[in-house]
Structure 1
């Protein structure tokens, strides 16, 4: 086997081995927990700020999707941080420990988040449903952290935090952007502008998600000394969109009773809930495709072809004088005979 073949075999073997979590999992875990705490605090303040029961129900329905998505990301980020702690010093835990502890960490995050909502009113079933949905989301996030390549999950969590940041910034500029997108005095123009605004949110969020995921994957390569195949970069870029879609599916299934109760308040509220649900799903899909494409373009710019470049480059021309060629024995004997004849 040649030296080049042995190097390629070694790289492929390194990629196939179980990967140690080398991404900055602790920083992502702290950031995701802070974001989740902020979302839960905002939801609690919004819900308890209304004395009217109908407004309390609708406020709960509005606050639930953001709390669920934040809990899902927090559970995954904390699970990755636990895996990084388990593999410090070059240790490699067994499969049971590698799967059980991240899931347990996600469950612990979910229980803390559920407690913040359930204690609003322990006698109301609506808060029990929201609390259970939040706990389920964080547990699913911890389950995702037991994935074979934890750096991909960490990059997806970082990209999801970037999406949350973009959405928060755009929400402050919403009043200025909607008129620019065609919002007028009619309901049709406002609905159309809201659709365009959701697309802008998804496109900018996907761009930020793909770039952040790519940078975190590169950071993990520098720390770990090994790289992964390029499809995993695309998966990391698409990860934030996948997390948003999973959280929306959880909201529609586990939290369906809350949305149905909010829709019974009025026909207008039912229409609003349907529009918001469709918008959230569309944003998740846009983030998925834009994030994957951005990450693929980013990693594609770093892929070189050194072998092809070497073959196409011309051979260097030497300017040093060539050494005189040594005569063969037959040529030497001929030259001696010629001198004798002379």
Structure 2
């Protein structure tokens, strides 16, 4: 086999990665669907539990960003499971299958919201936004590095769990950030708490993606370049930013309607939107930096003991040769050969 063929095979193995094992992809798909189902069930229960129309609108606006982010991950996870189950097929087929799988997940998720009230346009907007998010997630899974997509999905679930835990501890943690009886101190503490949550989420994202990609390298023997580690670490934050962009664009009418309920509600919606974007950006940059630092610690590592012993043996051998072949001895041998009679050389 030629060297070029060997490189091609290595590249193909790196593309397939550990996610070619259907069992791991199925577990990820189940986790992604469970997260999306929980967010959609919570959104539906919150919306239908409001008897007042104004509260129903604001509850829909509050629930939409979380459902959109979960749909992004669920679409990518299910699409990745579909792609890895394809034994053969080019990139075009994989991309089409991944996008189609994300679209199916999105349609099913959107129906859970649309069926709340089929006559209300607000639910159609939310359902369409969820369907678009899952489709985009599915398309992302059709790109060249499925192991990066899988690591990003797992890390996104980890960031979500960090947010859930911190939300339960928020009341106890706000005094640590300076919350007092005044409204200004509480607002400042909430802002500091949001930054800390984003930083912790980014740290978790970077560490999870690094560990998963390293485990994939041990299983397959093929590693990725360090920029892909940084991209994987930034992936969960990137999904949060994409989810916020979809919420502000595809779901803009819902946010506008919620802002018309009152001036206070408009201010709250603007603050929440800004907080979500800042949180996504913090997770993005901290996750990328954490992954780069983690992979950077492994670059240029000292040689293994076997390599060191081999190098010392080579150095000893070289030293022996040098000791045996002194410059004076080499010159003396050369003079003797020049002084040797021509006839004796012929006889030899």
Both proteins in one fold, TM over 0.5 = yes
Q: Does 1:33 align with 2:29?
A: no
Q: CA deviation at 1:310?
A: 6.2
Q: CA deviation at 1:166?
A: 0.3
1: CA distance between counterparts of 2:44 and 2:303?
A: 60
Aligned to 2:345: none
CA 1:10 to 1:294, structure 2 compared with 1: closer, same or farther past 3 Å? farther
Query: 181-190 or 237-246, which moves further after superposition?
Result: 181-190
1: CA distance between counterparts of 2:11 and 2:263?
A: 55
For structure 1, the residue ranges without an aligned partner over 5 or more in a row are 1-5, 335-342
Given that residues 76 and 145 in structure 1 are in contact (C-alpha distance below 8 angstroms), is that contact kept between their aligned partners in structure 2?
A: yes
Q: Does 1:57 align with 2:57?
A: yes
Given that residues 15 and 228 in structure 1 are in contact (C-alpha distance below 8 angstroms), is that contact kept between their aligned partners in structure 2?
A: no
Residue deviations 1:293-329, cap 9 Å, x none?
A: 1111111112235689969x76655899x99x9x989
2: CA distance between counterparts of 1:176 and 1:307?
A: 49
Q: CA deviation at 1:96?
A: 2.8
2: CA distance between counterparts of 1:12 and 1:285?
A: 37
1: CA distance between counterparts of 2:198 and 2:217?
A: 28
Query: 231-240 or 298-307, which moves further after superposition?
Result: 298-307
State the Cα RMSD in Å.
3.0
Residue deviations 1:173-194, cap 9 Å, x none?
A: 0101112212223332222111
Q: CA deviation at 1:216?
A: 1.5
Given that residues 14 and 222 in structure 2 are in contact (C-alpha distance below 8 angstroms), is that contact kept between their aligned partners in structure 1?
A: no
Aligned to 1:124: 120
Given that residues 14 and 223 in structure 2 are in contact (C-alpha distance below 8 angstroms), is that contact kept between their aligned partners in structure 1?
A: no
Aligned to 2:204: 208
Aligned to 2:174: 178
1:218 to 210, 214, 218: 214
Residue deviations 1:223-258, cap 9 Å, x none?
A: 333111111000000011100000000000000111
Secondary structure of 1:50's partner? coil
CA 1:189 to 1:9, structure 2 compared with 1: closer, same or farther past 3 Å? farther
1: CA distance between counterparts of 2:173 and 2:82?
A: 41
Query: 218-227 or 285-294, which moves further after superposition?
Result: 218-227
Q: CA deviation at 1:53?
A: 0.7
Given that residues 233 and 299 in structure 1 are in contact (C-alpha distance below 8 angstroms), is that contact kept between their aligned partners in structure 2?
A: yes
Aligned to 2:150: 154
Between Structure 1 and Structure 2, the one with more helix by share is: 2
For structure 2, the residue ranges without an aligned partner over 5 or more in a row are 341-348
Aligned to 1:99: 95
Query: 14-23 or 129-138, which moves further after superposition?
Result: 14-23
- Number of aligned residue pairs: give it: 321
2: CA distance between counterparts of 1:53 and 1:267?
A: 17
Aligned to 1:231: 227
Given that residues 21 and 80 in structure 1 are in contact (C-alpha distance below 8 angstroms), is that contact kept between their aligned partners in structure 2?
A: no
Aligned to 2:45: 45
Q: CA deviation at 1:42?
A: 0.7
Q: CA deviation at 1:84?
A: 1.1
- Counterparts of 1:208-287 in structure 2 under 5 Å? 208-287=204-283
Aligned to 1:3: none
Given that residues 21 and 83 in structure 1 are in contact (C-alpha distance below 8 angstroms), is that contact kept between their aligned partners in structure 2?
A: no
Q: CA deviation at 1:57?
A: 0.7
